[in-house]
Amino acid sequence: MVYLAHTAHPQYAAMWLGAVGWILTVVTTGLVEWRVWVVADVSVITSGMVWVGIWRVCFFSHILVSPELRVMFCQKMRLSDAFTPWEIAVAQVLMMVAAVLGLLASASVIYGLRNIFFGLDKKIHILVAFSLGGVLYLLTAVCSLIPLCLNFNSVVQNQTIAFPDIFHVPPAPVEQHVGGGIAVGISASIMMVTSGIVFLTYQFPLKMDYQIQSSWPAKPQDSNPVFALSSPLSLVCSKDRNKVCGGKDNLAFESQKHA
């Protein structure tokens, strides 16, 4: 059994970093605060602010309410709707792809760490799992960053959206700001990029010690069993059993024997 756990401490931390980044990416997909619009007409939009996400458009109102949200009124934006901007349509597709890729990346790196911490000597499996997980984390970050940057650019350029009349939202805001959803998504992408790089830079140890060594040094004469068994002294003793090997006669014993 090969001990490899001490070689994967950075990868263990990167697994948690990538998992948190993936969870935040999923959260970002459902957030409605991607683009914050400030409107002048507050007769219907009593809060004066509209939150534009990639799936819904919401605002607070005491006139129009959604049954499940009480004072908040929301309308869905679908990929097939003609008024949906292309950057939001791209975000709907790529953010879902990013969620799936992040899940596969987490599963791959967990499998690699399982082989390491359980002492399974599967070098190819570990390297493939870490490499695949690192690449998938990088792809997840790219799929997330593209729609985030596109919508960030739309906010900077103050682009408009031709909402239908049922939305009760003007096509152009007075001003718009970057919402918290984009900030959360960018932070999640940075986490996954860092995690992917850590997994791709993992190096399997080149030299592994499978032997168990003694805790005390061996004596020089014991290091060679052939020498220990075939020493000249042992050969002499084996031929002549009456000969005392390596010792002196006890004179007192001899005197009592002949008495």
> What type of residue is 232?
P
Q: Mention every residue, 6+ apart, whose C-beta is less than 8 A from residue 170.
A: 39, 41, 163
Give the per-residue pLDDT at 209: 44
CA 200 to chain centre: 11
Architecture of domain 5-200: Up-down Bundle (1.20)
Taking the domains of the chain in order of start, what are their residue ranges?
A: 5-200, 225-258
Note the pLDDT of residue 212.
42
Count, residues in the chain: 259
Is the Cβ–Cβ distance between 154 and 44 less than 8 Å? no
pLDDT (tens, 9 = 90+) of the chain, 259 residues, equals: 455 656 667 888 888 999 999 999 999 999 999 999 998 877 788 888 999 999 999 888 777 766 665 677 888 998 888 889 999 999 999 999 999 999 999 999 999 888 887 765 677 888 888 899 999 999 999 999 999 999 999 999 988 898 888 888 888 888 899 999 999 999 999 999 999 999 898 876 655 544 444 444 555 554 444 444 444 444 445 455 555 555 555 565 555 555 5
In the chain, the DSSP E strands lie at 35-38, 49-52, 56-60, 72-76, 175-178
Tokens of 34: 């991607």
Distance between CA atoms of 98 and 191, rounded to whole angstroms?
Answer: 14
The 10 Å Cβ neighbour count of residue 96 is 14
Q: 170 to each of 38, 165, 175, 228, how far by Cα in Å?
A: 10, 8, 12, 99
CB 45 within 8 A of CB 39: yes
Whole-model pTM: value is 0.71
